[in-house]
Chains A and B, each alone.
Chain A
Amino acid sequence: MNVLEISSLFKNYGSHRALSNIDLHVPQGSIFGLLGPNGAGKTTLIRIINQIIEADSGKILFKGESLRQDHIQHIGYLPEERGLYKKMKVGEQLLYFAQIKGIRTSDARIKVRDWLERLGISEWRNKKIEDLSKGMAQKVQFIATIIHSPELLILDEPFSGFDPVNAEIIKNEILDLRDNGTTVILSTHRMESVELLCDHIAMIHKSQKVIDGPLHEIRRKARTNIFFVKLLKDENLRIADWPDFREFEDHVSFKIPLCGTPPNEMLRQLMCHGSVIGFEEVVPSIGDIFIQKVKENDHA
């Protein structure tokens, strides 16, 4: 089942086209990576889902229902541009964010206490944000996003500004939430975080969707059928005319296209040239795939 179904979404700012005919399906319980360079339209799309701005046309379904105002209490949102009330105490602030999401005060208090304990910042409950270290404030910021136990969590560049230790904590919390049934949309232009976390990805470039699907499928489609080979430099070595050939102190490396030959057969042939110490398929990174797609689109 899809938590979010978006079809034929358009948005213009004056003469500038921000989103053009976007279709997306976000499966329940997935971590959905929304990728694209800055200015591609990611934030616009996220703001439309959060009902901060309206689309010009198109349809959005949340759990099968047309998106309504009261759905926002099931959505958690960590914007790229984020902050907290500096003069407010941690506990009061989290309580307020839970309340404006529509959580009853008594329930909200329990949730605030539990989350502060979980992230180990209980003793800071009565401190003002301005008295906290940056890392601690980031934890509070994250709690504020998920305090109302949203079914859909939208994180816009969640790791920007987080130090490595906190980024790791937050990453584990995101995975934990996913395991407990929360669907996560993770918008970023940093491809490396996507490969670690996401099950599904969609790429937006210049207001248009260029790739969409499960991560493993996208990877599979992007397979090059080229293998990276390493042979030991010894008396058995017989060098041939291989592309990307390089010589090192104790070994040589090169790339070899399969050209229809099964991998095992190729390996057998290579064994005649020397001792194989590396035989690995060259898989493009998400970043490479993205750059390739963008190039294809720009040429088209």
Chain B
Amino acid sequence: MHKILLVIRREYLARVKKKSFLLATLITPLIFPTIMGIFLWIAFSDSESEDRLRIIEVVDENNNFFMESEDNYAFSYSGIDIEAAKELVKSGSRFGFLYIPKIDLEKPVGITYYSDENPSMTFVGSLESTLKRKIDELRLYNSGIDPKLIASLRTDVSIQAITLAPTGKETVSNATVNYAIGFVTGILIYTFIFVYGNQIMQGVIEEKSSRIIEILISSLKPFQLMMGKILGIGAVGLTQFLIWIFLISAVSSLVMGFFGQQMPQQQALELVNPTGPLMEGSNEIGQILQVLSDINFVQLALTFVFYFIGGYLLYGAFFAAIGAAVDTPSDAQQFMFPVTIPLIIAYLGLFIFVLDDPNSKISFWLSVIPFTSPIAMMGRVSFGVPFYELALSMFFLVGGFLFTTWIAGKIYRIGILVHGTKVGYRTLWRWFKTK
């Protein structure tokens, strides 16, 4: 055990002391807030420019459609013809013009919007929905129903989902929030396994190709060396990860704080939820806050750390064995396939099945089989997973880790001493069987 600690220490310090570690650790978290900042800045300057009113000329041959002006758009009715309206757009005194020919209300066709630039989807969409509303109202009116009556009868319904625990505890749930949590944590684990798994492989290849390995294993058991390397690099990853969380939250709150001061409260809220009017928006935010406050973050964090480490260890052993079997990283490609496939299945399964329906049979199996569970289970955890399923999955993951380490150890101890031989799956099998 003492020797494993020595190896862990060496692997950890050798990586943490590198300049590249410092750079990656400091720069990566700056990327997210920077991208966020750029988006905010664009949105912010956009909303500033939109403050100037855009005038749209309406040429309505029905004399029936009165479009109400909005914050950013004003509709002008000058009673001119199409050609004159086109001239107005060309000269720049109108942002665009809307031509409504004489239409049949049953089949309204031929409505056209002219402008000197491509209109945005949102803008065309909002014009369409306004016109649709107007036409609906006209048709109701024509059938003898007062549109105001209809409006007064219209009710907004939004369903609040509440999860009932067997204990009787009720929690407000929100699929979007849970989806986001599952999405982010699942991807983090996927990335972590690949990035640090690769580092294990590179490390083993380095020891093998620099011929230091034989000196090492005359002092240590190969298994101690392999475990020390896997755990040491895992510790580097955790360190980097913790620093990132700290830096991202610090820098993000700085960025948000900066823009928060520059922006009136209302705009800030609209940015968070740009679709609905303010009232609905704040309800939505309120609900999200409610959902967030109901999530057991300690449990979530603990589960995350468990699957984060468990998944890494399970695959880390394989990466070590691959590194031991080859002489150069380019030779490793042929063995990467069996490692990549289950990870990609887990990754796709997360999006296609687990996040879509966390309680389906396939989601259950994906989150219990140890090769896919670290990624798939994170997609389920925030939705709430029955305790026994979580326990089963964790049990299998620990078992899976012991199993892969056992297999990898058998390949590793022989592979590290073999140089210059073309190694295939048959050779690996022979090594595995060697006593």
Residues of A within 8 A of B (CB): 47, 50-54, 69, 72-73, 75, 77-79, 81-88, 96-97, 99-101, 144-145
Give CA–CA (A281, B242) in the complex, Å.
78
Are the CB atoms of A81 and B419 closer together than 8 Å?
Answer: yes
Are the CB atoms of B6 and A85 closer together than 8 Å?
Answer: no
With A52-B217, A72-B219, A88-B14 as contacts: A83 and B3 at CB distance below 8 Å: no
- Choose one: A47, A54, A83; the contact of B212 (CB below 8 Å): A83
Are the CB atoms of A82 and B211 closer together than 8 Å?
Answer: yes
Interface size range on B against A: 20 to 34
Give CA–CA (A145, B215) in the complex, Å.
8
Are the CB atoms of B211 and A83 closer together than 8 Å?
Answer: yes
Give CA–CA (A183, B296) in the complex, Å.
65
Q: Nearest residue in B to A78 (C-beta to C-beta)?
A: B215
Give CA–CA (A56, B49) in the complex, Å.
83
| Interface residue? B269 (CB, 8 A) | no
Could you say which residues of chain B place their CB within 8 Å of the CB of A97?
215, 219
Q: Nearest residue in A to B18 (C-beta to C-beta)?
A: A87
Give chain B nearest CB distance to A22 CB in angstroms.
19
User: Which of A47, A51, A52, A53 has the most chain B CB atoms inside 10 A of its CB?
Assistant: A52
| Interface residue? B262 (CB, 8 A) | no
Are the CB atoms of A84 and B219 closer together than 8 Å?
Answer: no
Using a CB-CB cutoff of 8 Å, which residues 1-55 of chain B contact chain A? Answer: 3, 6-7, 10, 14, 18
Using a CB-CB cutoff of 8 Å, which residues 267-304 of chain B contact chain A? Answer: none
Are the CB atoms of A100 and B6 closer together than 8 Å?
Answer: yes
Could you say which residues of chain B place their CB within 8 Å of the CB of A82?
211-212, 214-215
Are the CB atoms of A81 and B211 closer together than 8 Å?
Answer: yes
Give CA–CA (A144, B214) in the complex, Å.
13
Q: Nearest residue in B to A13 (C-beta to C-beta)?
A: B434
Give CA–CA (A5, B6) in the complex, Å.
32
Are the CB atoms of A85 and B419 closer together than 8 Å?
Answer: no
Give CA–CA (A31, B96) in the complex, Å.
99
Q: Nearest residue in B to A46 (C-beta to C-beta)?
A: B218
- Choose one: B3, B210, B220; the contact of A84 (CB below 8 Å): B210
Give CA–CA (A141, B414) in the complex, Å.
24
Are the CB atoms of A85 and B14 closer together than 8 Å?
Answer: yes
Could you say which residues of chain B place their CB within 8 Å of the CB of A79?
211, 214-215, 218
Q: Nearest residue in B to A148 (C-beta to C-beta)?
A: B219
Give chain A nearest CB distance to B289 CB in angstroms.
49
Give CA–CA (A85, B208) in the complex, Å.
11
| Interface residue? B417 (CB, 8 A) | yes
Q: Nearest residue in B to A88 (C-beta to C-beta)?
A: B14
Are the CB atoms of B210 and A101 closer together than 8 Å?
Answer: no
Are the CB atoms of A85 and B218 closer together than 8 Å?
Answer: no
Q: Nearest residue in B to A69 (C-beta to C-beta)?
A: B221
A selection of 24 A-B contacts at a CB cut-off of 8 Å is A47-B214, A47-B417, A52-B214, A52-B218, A52-B417, A54-B435, A72-B219, A73-B219, A77-B214, A78-B215, A79-B215, A81-B214, A82-B211, A82-B212, A82-B215, A87-B14, A87-B18, A96-B6, A97-B215, A100-B3, A100-B6, A100-B7, A100-B220, A145-B215
| Interface residue? B216 (CB, 8 A) | yes
Give chain B nearest CB distance to A43 CB in angstroms.
9
Are the CB atoms of B10 and A144 closer together than 8 Å?
Answer: no
Give CA–CA (A42, B125) in the complex, Å.
83
Could you say which residues of chain A place their CB within 8 Å of the CB of B18?
87
Give CA–CA (A85, B10) in the complex, Å.
11
- Choose one: B210, B221, B435; the contact of A85 (CB below 8 Å): B210
Give CA–CA (A86, B212) in the complex, Å.
10
Are the CB atoms of B210 and A96 closer together than 8 Å?
Answer: no
Could you say which residues of chain B place their CB within 8 Å of the CB of A69?
221
Could you say which residues of chain B place their CB within 8 Å of the CB of A100?
3, 6-7, 216, 219-220
Q: Nearest residue in A to B416 (C-beta to C-beta)?
A: A52
Give chain A nearest CB distance to B137 CB in angstroms.
75
0/1 per residue, B370-385, Cβ < 8 Å to A? Answer: 0000000000000000
Give chain A nearest CB distance to B12 CB in angstroms.
12
Could you say which residues of chain B place their CB within 8 Å of the CB of A101?
219
Give CA–CA (A85, B207) in the complex, Å.
8
Give chain B nearest CB distance to A153 CB in angstroms.
12
Could you say which residues of chain A place their CB within 8 Å of the CB of B218?
50-52, 72, 75, 77, 79
Give chain A nearest CB distance to B218 CB in angstroms.
4
Could you say which residues of chain A place their CB within 8 Å of the CB of B419?
81
Give CA–CA (A53, B218) in the complex, Å.
10
With A52-B417, A72-B219, A75-B218 as contacts: A96 and B211 at CB distance below 8 Å: no
A-B residue pairs, 3 tightest by C-beta: A83-B211, A83-B210, A79-B214
Give CA–CA (A101, B419) in the complex, Å.
25
Give chain A nearest CB distance to B53 CB in angstroms.
64
Could you say which residues of chain B place their CB within 8 Å of the CB of A75?
218
